[in-house]
Chains A and B, each alone.
Chain A
Amino acid sequence: MSMAGSRTTTAADAGAPAQLTRSWLDGRALHSRILTSSTWLAAVIAAVPLISVLYMLVVRGGARLGREVFLELPPAGFEPGGGFGNAVMGTVVMVGLAALVAIPLGVLAAVFLAEFGPASSLARFARFATKTLTGFPSVLAGVFAYALVVLATGTYSAPAGGLALAVLMLPTVILTAEEAIKAVPRITRDAAFGMGCTRTQVVWKVMLPTALPGILTGVMLGIARAAGETAPLLFTALSSSYWLFEGIRPHLMQPTASLAVLIYNFSGMPFDNQIELAWTASLVLVLMVLVINVLSRLVGRRA
């Protein structure tokens, strides 16, 4: 209809050739152009903090990066040198503890949500709980672990920190694993049932192997998130200037250092040495998180 309308208008223009382009000064074109440039500007501005953070990490953090920061203990007061080997170890141990809890539990729940009872009311409530946990302030996970573990055992400890991190990892694992299991083609699943498998056999031998890349992606994203968390560790694992292991014997039931808390503590200190170490620790932490993120993407792409 509008085509016909516009044709009549052109005809009325006394044979002037149809103008198909607009001058860019024309009101509507100008409006469009201005908005496009502002959007470009906004996108570039949004990238500035990232570039600044990465630049600072490389320049200020890279200056101290070397073997010794991984092998030495945090320095005290005016002490020069030192490192944060115990904090790297503490982060790895606590994230490991969290993964030990969150991965099996998360995958079990995801199997139930995707396969055993997707429409049950238990599943509906559990999905709701998971969504709620996704937006959960991380500091409250710390408060929970404090109330449950620290108050009960009377000491700040690695397991308390691990529990807090597990609470934060769990929703990521559940949501991605559920999606991954649901994405297994129906035909594959039905073929397994057709061969007379029990549901457990279908899950273990068909669904989980097929969904593995997707599940791993979720697990790694959860791990990456947990590794960077600070607030839940502040008053569950606290911090420490000592090694978590004596020889090979772990001392888990004592305050435990972590990279994130170390960065926080050192950032507030009036000593240049500590602040340099805080930057280096940030670089190490960001590299850890980014490597896990990239790995998760590579694994996910294979899916």
Chain B
Amino acid sequence: MKLVAQRPAAVSQSISGPPSRWDYAVDRVFRLLAQGGTWLVLLLLAAIVWEIGVKAAAAVGRYGVHFVTSSTWDVGRQQFGVLPHIWGTMYSSLLALAIGGFFGIAMAIFLTQDFLPPRLANVFRIVVELLAAIPSVVYGLWGLFVLVPAMRPLADAAYHRLGWVPFFSSTLSGPGLAPASLVLAIMILPTVAAVSQDALRLVPYRVKEAAYGMGTTRWEAILKVLLPAASTGIFGALVLGFGRALGETMALAMLIGNSNHITLSLFAPANTLAALLALNFPEAGPREVEVLMYAALVLLAITLLVNLLGEAIMRRSARRLAAR
């Protein structure tokens, strides 16, 4: 075999034989190398948390809990609070989750439940994958020049007719929460769709057959049997999509308008933690960098928590279905 022929000729002239001392040495070194590489990956995560934590320590000491409960961000007066950013992050992500989650799950059902001939199903599968492949800055550009102008008449009509509803209590003067959340929804749709598809595929085929055997229509089988069976996995998909939305930066930095107000209005500008970091870091002085590091720490904590939750749910759903 090629494998033996390639051994160093100096070791042995025979075409077979036990590994030489050299081979064992190489083996040991390579194994240590692989182990070292794995340690490095672990260290990388630790280093990220450590670097951000250490650089934020001064600001954590100075501002403490007040930082996450205060809503002024004033570099001149050295007052910093990220409550509006946390609010904006949560609000935009939840909106995006509601929209992107709905369409993502619909897409997953559409693609897994034999609605389509295989070739057409492939077209939609490619659509979902392309949606995931387009860089977020391009979505931001599209949002600025296509979505915002397209939404403005609708938003203004909603404001004039339904201005008393808190959600419509302002006009869309440019960037705002609604276009930002819509773009965010488009961006998490592929995540939700992909993970929910996996969850739906995990449901054994005989479960569906059993439902049909009982005389259900296709949708009764989907709504009453398949979705409940895959519910844990789909919930995990939503949590992972939510985590994606929380950390998404560029589309929001371009579309949300960067205003530190807490408002329910969908058309008012707002701000998010990630956008705050992206917009303020490039011009930050040393004092402000500490504060931004604190904001990064808050974002890190929130996303870690959400992602861990998502992973835990996914693992539970896989185990539950495997046990069945």
Give the B-binding residues of A (Cβ under 8 A): 2, 28-29, 31-32, 35-36, 38-40, 42-43, 45-47, 49-50, 52-54, 56-57, 60, 104-105, 108-109, 111-113, 116-117, 122-123, 125-126, 129-133, 135-144, 146-148, 151, 167, 170, 174, 192, 195-201, 203-206, 224, 227-231, 234-235, 238, 260, 263-264, 267-268, 275, 278-279, 282, 285-286, 289-290, 293
Closest CB-CB distance, A286 to chain B, in whole Å? Answer: 6
Look across to chain B and name the residue whose beta carbon is closest to the beta carbon of A143. B296
Set of chain B residues within 8 Å of A200, measured between Cβ atoms: 23, 26-27, 30-31
Look across to chain A and name the residue whose beta carbon is closest to the beta carbon of B292. A143
Select the stretch in B151-159, B201-209, B276-284, B316-324 that faces chain A. B276-284
Set of chain A residues within 8 Å of B135, measured between Cβ atoms: 227-230, 260, 285-286, 289
Set of chain B residues within 8 Å of A112, measured between Cβ atoms: 34-35, 37-38
Look across to chain B and name the residue whose beta carbon is closest to the beta carbon of A104. B37
* Chain B, range 244-270, C-beta contacts under 8 Å to A: 244, 246-250, 253-254
Which of B128, B141, B215, B292: most chain A Cβ within 10 A? B141
Q: B127's contact among A47, A108, A196, by CB below 8 Å, is which?
A: A47
Q: B250's contact among A52, A144, A231, A275, by CB below 8 Å, is which?
A: A231
Are A137 and B38 CB-contacts (below 8 A) given A39-B109, A39-B110, A143-B281?
no
Look across to chain A and name the residue whose beta carbon is closest to the beta carbon of B18. A196
| Interchain CB contact under 8 A, B16 and A196 | yes
Q: Which 6 pairs between the two chains have the least Cβ-Cβ distance?
A: A137-B247, A228-B135, A108-B37, A231-B249, A235-B281, A135-B307
11 pairs, CB–CB < 8 Å, chain A vs chain B: A108-B33, A108-B37, A112-B38, A117-B38, A122-B38, A135-B303, A137-B303, A140-B48, A197-B3, A230-B249, A285-B137
A105–B296 alpha-carbon span in the complex (Å): 26
In the complex, per-residue mask of B30-74: 1 if CB is within 8 Å of any chain A CB, else 0: 110111111111101101100110010000000000000000000
* Chain B, range 52-102, C-beta contacts under 8 Å to A: 52, 55, 102
| Interchain CB contact under 8 A, B52 and A139 | no
| Interchain CB contact under 8 A, A122 and B42 | yes
Set of chain B residues within 8 Å of A111, measured between Cβ atoms: 34, 37
* Chain B, range 101-160, C-beta contacts under 8 Å to A: 102-103, 106-107, 109-110, 115, 124, 127-131, 133-142, 144-146
Are A136 and B247 CB-contacts (below 8 A) given A47-B124, A196-B19, A267-B144?
yes
Q: Is B310 an interface residue (CB 8 A)?
A: yes
Which of A28, A46, A282, A293: most chain B Cβ within 10 A? A46
Set of chain B residues within 8 Å of A122, measured between Cβ atoms: 35, 38-39, 42
Q: B106's contact among A42, A129, A135, A289, by CB below 8 Å, is which?
A: A42
Look across to chain A and name the residue whose beta carbon is closest to the beta carbon of B23. A198
CB < 8 Å A-B pair total: 273
Q: Is B234 an interface residue (CB 8 A)?
A: no
Set of chain B residues within 8 Å of A203, measured between Cβ atoms: 30
| Interchain CB contact under 8 A, B41 and A130 | yes
Set of chain A residues within 8 Å of B109, measured between Cβ atoms: 39
Q: A39's contact among B115, B189, B215, by CB below 8 Å, is which?
A: B115
A238–B282 alpha-carbon span in the complex (Å): 7
| Interchain CB contact under 8 A, B131 and A263 | no
A39–B103 alpha-carbon span in the complex (Å): 9
Closest CB-CB distance, B139 to chain A, in whole Å? Answer: 7
Q: Is B300 an interface residue (CB 8 A)?
A: yes
Closest CB-CB distance, A140 to chain B, in whole Å? Answer: 6
A299–B219 alpha-carbon span in the complex (Å): 38
Set of chain A residues within 8 Å of B131, measured between Cβ atoms: 46, 49-50
| Interchain CB contact under 8 A, A108 and B299 | no
Are A139 and B282 CB-contacts (below 8 A) given A231-B274, A279-B141?
no
Q: Is B214 an interface residue (CB 8 A)?
A: yes
A89–B240 alpha-carbon span in the complex (Å): 34
Set of chain A residues within 8 Å of B39, measured between Cβ atoms: 122, 126
Set of chain A residues within 8 Å of B215, measured between Cβ atoms: 2
Closest CB-CB distance, B162 to chain A, in whole Å? Answer: 23
Set of chain B residues within 8 Å of A57, measured between Cβ atoms: 138
A224–B134 alpha-carbon span in the complex (Å): 10
Known pairs A267-B140, A278-B141; list 11 more (Cβ under 8 Å).
Answer: A36-B115, A126-B42, A132-B308, A137-B249, A140-B299, A143-B292, A195-B1, A264-B137, A267-B145, A289-B134, A290-B133
A112–B42 alpha-carbon span in the complex (Å): 13
A73–B195 alpha-carbon span in the complex (Å): 42
Q: B133's contact among A56, A105, A293, by CB below 8 Å, is which?
A: A293
Look across to chain B and name the residue whose beta carbon is closest to the beta carbon of A227. B135
A174–B18 alpha-carbon span in the complex (Å): 32
| Interchain CB contact under 8 A, A230 and B3 | no
Closest CB-CB distance, B235 to chain A, in whole Å? Answer: 16
Are A195 and B3 CB-contacts (below 8 A) given A53-B134, A267-B254?
yes
A57–B39 alpha-carbon span in the complex (Å): 43
